[in-house]
Every structure is written in structure tokens, then in C-alpha cells.
Amino acid sequence: MDLSEESLDIYIGITGKNVQLANFYTGEWVSKWRVNKGSIEGNITIKAHFFESGNVQFHQKKNVSCEFQFQ
């Protein structure tokens, strides 16, 4: 296959979860990526929840993209 003439997309998903109810916290990481001939783009979502002496939640999402030369 000659990659200079073809379009090839690769999709990647990465996820992880940590649930520790006895220690009063949970956390989650989810990322989705698309890689093609000259770029990678995706998003990362992180969630954390602490609830020992109250209720604190953290949610963050970041979009990422990068150009590169594929050989």
C-alpha cells in the first residue's frame, strides 16, 4: 500500500476508572483519538469525585491536535 496516495484513518480509545468507595473517591479518564496520514486529533476527559467531608467534583475536557509528517 502506498500511503502517499491512500487515506487511512485509525481510531483509538483509551479509558480507565478507579472506584474506591471505602476511601471516598472515584476517578475516570477517557480519551478518543483519530490518526490519519498527517495529523492526530482527539479529546481527553478527566473526572474526579471526593466525598469524605463534603462533595467535591472535578471535570476537565481538553481537545488536542497535532500535525506531523508520516513516512
SS (H, E, C) the chain: CCCCCCCCCEEEEEEEEEEEHHHCEEEEEEEEEEEECCEEEEEEEEEEEECCCCCEEEEEEEEEEEECCCC
59 contacts: CB under 8 Å, gap ≥ 6:
45, 46, 47
Structural domain contains residue 36:
yes
Range of the domain at 32: 10-66
Specify the pLDDT at position 4: 57
pLDDT tens per residue across all 71 residues of the chain: 455 556 788 999 999 999 999 999 999 999 999 998 889 999 999 999 999 888 999 999 999 999 987 66
Structural domain contains residue 4:
no
Structural domain contains residue 33:
yes
Structural domain contains residue 60:
yes
Structural domain contains residue 1:
no
Structural domain contains residue 2:
no
Give me the number of domains the chain comprises. 1
